[in-house]
Amino acid sequence: MAGGTVVGDLQVLFQPDRPELGYLPEGPVGCGSGEISWVAIQHGPEQSVGSLNVLDPAAGFNRHVELPGRPGFAFPTDDPDVFLVGVERSVCRVHLGSRECEPVSEEVDTGVENTIINDGVEIDEGLVFGCKDLAFEDYKAGLYFWRAADRRIFQLRDDQLCSNGKVVRRDGTGWWIWDIDSPTKTVARYRLDPSSGMLGDPETALDLTHLPFFPDGMVEGRTPSTVIIAFYNPESVEAGEVHEYDLESGEHLATWRVPGSPQVTCPLMWDSPEGTRLVVTTAAENMSAEKLAEYPLAGAMFVSEPLDQLES
CA-CA-CA-CA torsion sign (15, 21, 23, 29): negative
To the question of pTM greater than 0.85 for the whole model, the response is yes
Share of the chain above pLDDT 90, in %: 95
Phi, psi (degrees; rounded to nearest 5) at 266:
-145, 140
Distance, in Å, from the CA atom of 254 to the CA atom of 245, rounded to the nearest integer, reads 7
* Cβ neighbour number for residue 299 with a 10 Å cutoff: 27
pLDDT tens, position by position, 226-273: 999 999 999 999 999 999 999 999 999 999 999 999 999 999 999 999
pLDDT tens, position by position, 3-51: 678 889 999 999 999 999 999 999 999 998 899 999 999 999 999 999 9
pLDDT reported for residue 14: 98
Average of per-residue pLDDT across 105-110: 98
pLDDT tens, position by position, 152-184: 999 999 999 999 999 999 999 999 999 999 999
pLDDT reported for residue 3: 67
pLDDT reported for residue 2: 52
Determine the topology of domain 5-303 in CATH: Neuraminidase (2.120.10)
pLDDT tens, position by position, 50-101: 999 999 999 999 999 999 999 999 999 999 999 999 999 999 999 999 999 9
pLDDT reported for residue 1: 45
pLDDT tens, position by position, 262-308: 999 999 999 999 999 999 999 999 999 999 999 999 999 999 999 97
Give the CA-trace dihedral at 148, 80, 131, 172, to 10 degrees.
40
Phi, psi (degrees; rounded to nearest 5) at 160:
-90, 145
Distance, in Å, from the CA atom of 148 to the CA atom of 169, rounded to the nearest integer, reads 18
